[in-house]
Structure 1
Amino acid sequence: MAQVVLVGAWLGVVGVISESLYLTKSVSVEITRKIVHIGAGNVILLAWWLHTPAWMGIAASLLFSLVALLSYWLPILPGINSVGRTSLGTFFYAVSIGLLTATFWEGSPEFTMLGILTMTWGDGMAAIIGQSLGRHRYTVWDMTKSWEGTSTMLLVSFGVSLGVLSIVHGLTPTIAAIALLTALTATFLESFARWGLDNLTVPLGSAFLAYGLWQWWG
């Protein structure tokens, strides 16, 4: 019960911050989304510390997936989604957490954390840095990206992957190589994703690649 209360309290704080930023207009709506993106994703660290069972994460994923879908038609999460928004990023975000929890949490939770935190911090910081400091632009399909944002995605993804794997398996050249390959893949997936699909492809691609490489090399 305490696990549910603490996780719920954390998400509640993130929600309050989101709506406060949205109502005061102190930052842009997109920056607000990314702040929530980062804050909500960090709940996985709390869940790991509390040894939260997998069923709880899967149930939360299903609930928030439903809420995210409804928010595209109803003003449930105005600080995160606007009604009629074409991107399904929030929905994919919730789905990816459930899939990674169901796949890895019981036996190899580090890969659940790696995937989610790569999405949380890598994609989140790439958007924030790209929008605030991005000066060198490039276009992929109809999307405008910045080299500053893409570089941030690569560096943060590498740092997250290296940190998570090193905590569990120790810092070795093999772990560093796995982290680098994972970061390069995550950056590629983030750069080419459309309609918010990066919130699905980045965490799943990162986690499954890192797991496969670890099984092969480790």
Structure 2
Amino acid sequence: MSSGLQIAIAFGSVAVLLGLMAVVKRLAAARDFSPEVQRKLVHIGTGLYALTLPWLFTDDWPVYMLIGLTLIVMAVLRTPALAKGGIGETLHGVERQSYGDLLLALAVGTVFLLADGRAILYILPIATLTLADAAAALTGSRYGSKFFTVEDGRKSLEGSTAFFTITLVISMVCLLLLSDVPRPNVVLLSVMVAAFGTLVEADSWRGFDNFFLPAGLMVFLESHMNSPWQELVVLLFLFLLAIVIFLRIAPRFGITKHAARVYVISTFLLISVTALQNTVLPLLVFVTHAFARRANPCRAAWPELDIVAALALASFAWLASEMIIPFNALMFYGLMSVGLSVGLIAVAFGPREIWVRLGAAGLVGVGLFTLYAALMRYNAPHVLWPGDMRLLGVLTILLVVGIAGLRPAMFETHRAAKLTLLALVVPVIGYSAKVITA
């Protein structure tokens, strides 16, 4: 297929999306569809179309171009003139704030990149997002009678049950038809995918399930699709045990049950996809964030959820960079985690004198970088390719302490996002420099 034809198909795909939204808006006016039904109809149509992308294009770059075009269009549709009364109302007619439209496009691009042509790793997550998520929402809105509370509203047990059932069926069909996974593993993997996916869908907020659900499922499948069944049983047991423990101890630290379940999902995903030594620093981010939240609260509505979202998005960004650039980014990811924890300590001491803030953050920075250096030694040689990281470590700590320690008031709002971006500056520059000079 020629490049020109693929470009034409990409632009035509955006036109199809806009046409779908126009049809849904007209049907909604004629049949009195609720805003939630409108959103899910667009969601289903978009997801089903996304399933065809590996076969619609002969090259990968038109897919990424299509994702970029879609993100631009979704951003335009969020403008007031189109979001209320215009075609964008099919996505933004609901009362709650959601970034689901943007995150859906981003998720398709991320899963397409990370799946790297492996059909099972692309189809299963996108099909689950498309069908199970819509089934949960529509079942809950129509038949929901038993509810549980999340930060931005409530979800129904009936909707979660529908999600689990549909995901279980999708997983079994995909694993049987698109992989050579042994039969016992098909059952175990399907149950784990359904359980993990149900928790992600039930506990997501602001539409983040549109990204975390498919991306998380893809990463989990890639790591454990060929694991022995005994290992899967142990992993499932640890997952259930972690839920019980987190829910028991969460109230003691002022953490809601919703946030505790989100921490379980994040911790489980970290432990299941990487070696234990590489989970320590990201998990310490949650610890330092809990300390900062109690010592110097920010003005965020859901600070625990914000830190999970920020760290997860940064984690997937580093993972995607390894697919684009053939160099392992793990040491730079660990350095980012160090910087993020140091920043949280700096703002935690915000009300104290400046020398206390700088001293505490500096000492924690030295200690965490020492821990970082010790943990990285347990990784394989290809992970250690950057060599001596002391200079980058010093620069990261100085930058974070200098800004967060001197101006803690800057982080009273959007704390997680700002500190994550700050912690990324030196690792990203260092990674880029190492890649260029390698």
Please list the CA deviations of residues 92-146 of structure 1 after superposition, one character each: whole Å capped at 9, or x if unmatched: 111000111111142x132111111111111111000100111112213342111
Match of 1:4 among 3, 6, 9: 9
Cα 1:45/1:97, change in 2 over 3 Å: closer
Instruction: Specify every segment of 5 or more residues in structure 2 that has no aligned partner in the other structure, as ranges.
Output: 230-438
Cα 1:214/1:192, change in 2 over 3 Å: same
Match of 1:199 among 194, 210, 213: 210
Could you tell me whether the CA contact under 8 Å between 1:57 and 1:97 is conserved in 2?
no
Could you tell me whether the CA contact under 8 Å between 2:11 and 2:66 is conserved in 1?
no
The equivalent of 1:20 in structure 2 is 26
Is structure 2 residue 158 aligned with structure 1 residue 162?
no
The equivalent of 1:177 in structure 2 is 188
**Rounded Cα–Cα distance in structure 2 between residues aligned with 1:157 and 1:116:** 11
Instruction: Specify every segment of 5 or more residues in structure 1 that has no aligned partner in the other structure, as ranges.
Output: none
Please list the CA deviations of residues 70-112 of structure 1 after superposition, one character each: whole Å capped at 9, or x if unmatched: 2222405221224996211111111000111111142x13211
Larger-gyration structure (1/2): 2
Q: Secondary structure at the match of 1:53?
A: coil
Q: Which deviates further from its counterpart, 95-104 or 134-143?
A: 134-143
Cα deviation for residue 42 of structure 1 reads 0.7
Cα 1:5/1:121, change in 2 over 3 Å: same
The equivalent of 1:137 in structure 2 is 147
Is structure 2 residue 122 aligned with structure 1 residue 124?
no
Match of 2:114 among 100, 103, 120: 103
When normalised by structure 2's length, the TM-score is 0.45
Cα 1:30/1:50, change in 2 over 3 Å: same
Please list the CA deviations of residues 18-43 of structure 1 after superposition, one character each: whole Å capped at 9, or x if unmatched: 22224435311110110111111011
Cα deviation for residue 64 of structure 1 reads 1.2
Q: Secondary structure at the match of 2:42?
A: helix
Across the two proteins, how many residue pairs are aligned to each other? 217
The equivalent of 1:72 in structure 2 is 78
**Rounded Cα–Cα distance in structure 1 between residues aligned with 2:119 and 2:100:** 23
Q: Which deviates further from its counterpart, 140-149 or 163-172?
A: 163-172
Cα RMSD after superposing both structures = 2.7
Q: Secondary structure at the match of 2:126?
A: helix
When normalised by structure 1's length, the TM-score is 0.87
**Rounded Cα–Cα distance in structure 1 between residues aligned with 2:211 and 2:103:** 5
Bigger relative CO (Cα 8 Å, ≥ 6 apart): 1
The equivalent of 1:153 in structure 2 is 163
Is structure 2 residue 229 aligned with structure 1 residue 214?
no
**Rounded Cα–Cα distance in structure 2 between residues aligned with 1:177 and 1:162:** 10
**Rounded Cα–Cα distance in structure 2 between residues aligned with 1:213 and 1:185:** 13
**Rounded Cα–Cα distance in structure 1 between residues aligned with 2:95 and 2:168:** 35
Q: What is the one-letter code of the residue matched to 1:151?
A: T
Cα 1:207/1:46, change in 2 over 3 Å: same
The equivalent of 2:40 in structure 1 is 34
Cα 1:142/1:45, change in 2 over 3 Å: closer
Cα 1:162/1:58, change in 2 over 3 Å: farther
Match of 1:45 among 40, 51, 64: 51
Could you tell me whether the CA contact under 8 Å between 2:70 and 2:105 is conserved in 1?
yes
Could you tell me whether the CA contact under 8 Å between 1:65 and 1:94 is conserved in 2?
yes
Q: Which deviates further from its counterpart, 121-130 or 58-67?
A: 58-67
Q: What is the one-letter code of the residue matched to 1:195?
A: R
**Rounded Cα–Cα distance in structure 2 between residues aligned with 1:36 and 1:114:** 19
